[in-house]
Structure 1
Amino acid sequence: MDDLQTLATLLAAPEPSPQAAGRSLRRLQQRISRPRRSRRTGRLAAGMSLAAAAAAAAVVISSTAAPTAVPNGPPSASVQLTADQVLLAAAATAELQREGPGTYWFVKISSGDSAGGESWTARDGRRWMRGTKTAGEVVELGGPPVPFRLGGLEVGFEQLHELPAEPAALQDWISDRLRHDDVRTSAGALDAAGRARSVLYGLVSLVSELPAPPAVRAAAFRALATYPGVESLGAVDGGQGLLIPDPHAETPERSPLRLVVDPATSRVRNTNFFVSADGGVAFGVSKPVTIEARWTDTLPD
């Protein structure tokens, strides 16, 4: 059984006791430290082992943390994950998942008690919206197929499936397309700092909002793990809290990006940032933003 299979078993099994989870983590760490018989390259084997170990540690945390853990509360687990371990664990989980079936890609964004906005996007690009602008009614947007937004780029389902599944190549693809498509903001054409900022926003969108295939979501998590200064806040309500500095942020309140990632599901539970359907960048300063993104087969009445 390889490390990814071990991870799948750990994540699929019922939550163990803290003692059993600790023993499982120690056994996995010991097995990883032994010489490998596989002929796989050292880089690939090491990366997969690290991700599996991190995910196993996440299982320990999820099994010992209280359901209502808060950022400033007492330690809720015997294992403290670093930020890159959280992101690599989420990447390993994402890579093992199957792309969900469904007719519509559903996204709901809310903050605090606010109902927020909802969208349903069919595979042919048709989109329905519900929010304050539609007076709470579900309204189909007319006109040509509506694209998704990836760091300012307009992309469809097909392009999302064609994205590179390797972290550096994924970042390069977004950056190159930003330059080639001459993406602009209200301030004009993007400079190098603007492109770097848009690449970061695109990576976060891939793991939180967009219907990217599992391998691409995994690559985005791994790319985020390479950013300097990424910091772990430890166990919080919903998962593991992370701070991702943006050295190219336009204003101080736009850095760091704050994410709550659940490594066991690879979902982003809360954030202070999201890209709206029209490509605008929104920051939740006072209250965290909750993003629900999944496939569904039905439109609401």
Structure 2
Amino acid sequence: MDEIDELRRMRTALAREESPDRLALRTDWRRSGVAPRPRRGFKVPVVSMISAAALVAGAVVVISVNSSPAPDGSRPVRPEKSRGPLEPGNALLVAATNVEKGATGKYWHTTRITGEIYAVGKTAADHYKLESRMQYDEWTDSSGKQCINPDDLPARPWTALDEQKWEKAGAPTTVEFPIPEGTGVLFLKPTRTGGPCRVVGERRFLGMTVKQLAALPTRPEQLEKALLNIKGNWEAVSSKPGERPIRALKGDKRVRALSDAAGTLLGVAPAPPEVRAAAFRMLATLPGVKAEGETTDPLGRRGTVISLPVETTVPLGLYTAPKQLGTYRRQWIIDPGKGTLLAVRDLVATPPHGSRELPPGDDGKPRRLTVDTQPDRFHKPGEVADYEVYAKAEWSDAAPN
């Protein structure tokens, strides 16, 4: 047996057996003193987009755990500070211990906000960036029946500098910009407000019912084996797109797919606390996962950055072909003390370049993807592309509105 694999198994086994206080001391996890990195963005994972296609484009959800005492009266793990190196497994294992204390209820209620950053302007010198946002409130009951209340939030300048440039341009409340399909429009004033919750029927997560989610293994190595059977469009660019199981992937591609599945369990699915804890512990054992200090998420909440060892184009998702010409680096932002996944984001690794042939449109004419239609065409490496932030997720006995 590989020695590193054995050490990983020992680490996760210890995390299951130790008390929260001993875990905090042994892992030596603490909030890093590293200066915060800039805010980043997120490309919606293929698993989430596939499962949401029947609801609303790109619908996915979130988790949030408060810092009050757990049902058993215990307090969240508060790891001591240390001057040693920050280990990703430490933060992830502490998060697992804290999320495991969570209670359950009649409804799984989530609020998430998706954002994409669009460049407005014809050149890199004169452009400014606007943030397009959608909010989704979702309730799922124990049978899997779900209702959803989407709300189109007004767009807004991304940074203070972008706001200055937008004001210099006359502070327009309607802005047009190029997209692969033609011309897109952003509205900087509310266009509508969310109505009553709309019932959409039974929801499946990673192809599983709520009852099947509840039956998932609670040991990380067994959970990984179960997730390897999940099918999806895991290739971002492929001459033969189609669903295949995660176990058919190798190396970084497998890590990316497993992390997408873990993110769904932590953010989207009404998985039991023990399963969410196993998802954190599984991620801690994956090769190439690393911590990169602290940052703030798009809601201003501080958390620990967990980076995944993948530079890739964005998965197919709802489209028949990728709509991106750049590559992106996936990161999670977690709050270990609350056992919470705060956000997922993709940083631009390689800005859009080149072109790609697209399938013919409805008119049968050939199409080609070009840089001038890319929302991040003026982005620099490390800047945000888009994100998904998890504002709320909680078990509740209150019925949806």
TM interval, short-chain normalised: 0.5 to 0.7
Structure 2 gap ranges (5+): 1-9, 39-80, 116-130, 153-191, 235-239, 297-301, 316-324, 347-382
| Counterpart selection for 1:145 from 195, 199, 202 | 202
- Deviation of 1:136 after TM superposition, in Å, equals 2.1
Asked if 1:127 is matched to 2:185, the reply is no
3-state secondary structure, aligned to 2:286:
coil
Q: Which has the higher contact order (CA 8 A, sep 6+)?
A: 2
- Deviation of 1:242 after TM superposition, in Å, equals 1.1
Q: Share of identical aligned residues, percent?
A: 22
| Counterpart selection for 1:71 from 28, 37, 41 | 37
- Deviation of 1:171 after TM superposition, in Å, equals 1.3
3-state secondary structure, aligned to 2:385:
coil
| Counterpart selection for 1:245 from 297, 306, 309 | 309
How far apart, CA to CA, are the structure 2 residues paired with 1:77 and 1:253?
A: 38
Asked if 1:290 is matched to 2:290, the reply is no
Contact 1:163 1:216 in 2 (8 A): yes
- Deviation of 1:285 after TM superposition, in Å, equals 4.6
- Cα distance change on mapping 1:88 and 1:267 into 2, 3 Å: same
Q: Which residues in structure 2 correspond to 1:1-301 (within 5 Å)? A: 44-45=13-14, 48-49=17-18, 55-56=24-25, 61=30, 70-71=36-37, 78=83, 80-95=85-100, 97-111=101-115, 114-132=133-151, 136-142=194-200, 144-147=201-204, 149-150=205-206, 154-178=207-231, 187-190=241-244, 192-193=248-249, 196=254, 197-237=256-296, 238-246=302-310, 255-272=328-345, 285-291=384-390, 292-299=392-399, 301=401
How far apart, CA to CA, are the structure 1 residues paired with 2:331 and 2:345?
A: 6
- Deviation of 1:218 after TM superposition, in Å, equals 1.4
Q: TM-score, normalised by structure 2?
A: 0.49
Contact 1:119 1:127 in 2 (8 A): yes
Letter in structure 1 aligned against 2:277: A
Q: TM-score, normalised by structure 1?
A: 0.63
Give the root-mean-square deviation of aligned CA atoms. Answer: 3.9
Equivalent residues, number? 235
Deviations 1:103-137 (A, max 9, x none): 34324234367242221112222222122589622
Letter in structure 1 aligned against 2:288: G
How far apart, CA to CA, are the structure 2 residues paired with 1:46 and 1:167?
A: 11
- Cα distance change on mapping 1:225 and 1:46 into 2, 3 Å: closer
Contact 2:112 2:388 in 1 (8 A): no
- Higher relative helix content: 1
- Deviation of 1:42 after TM superposition, in Å, equals 9.7
Structure 1 gap ranges (5+): 1-40, 274-283
- Higher relative strand content: 2
Q: For the pair shown, which has the larger CA radius of gyration, 1 or 2?
A: 2
3-state secondary structure, aligned to 2:304:
strand
Letter in structure 1 aligned against 2:217: P
How far apart, CA to CA, are the structure 1 residues paired with 2:22 and 2:311?
A: 30
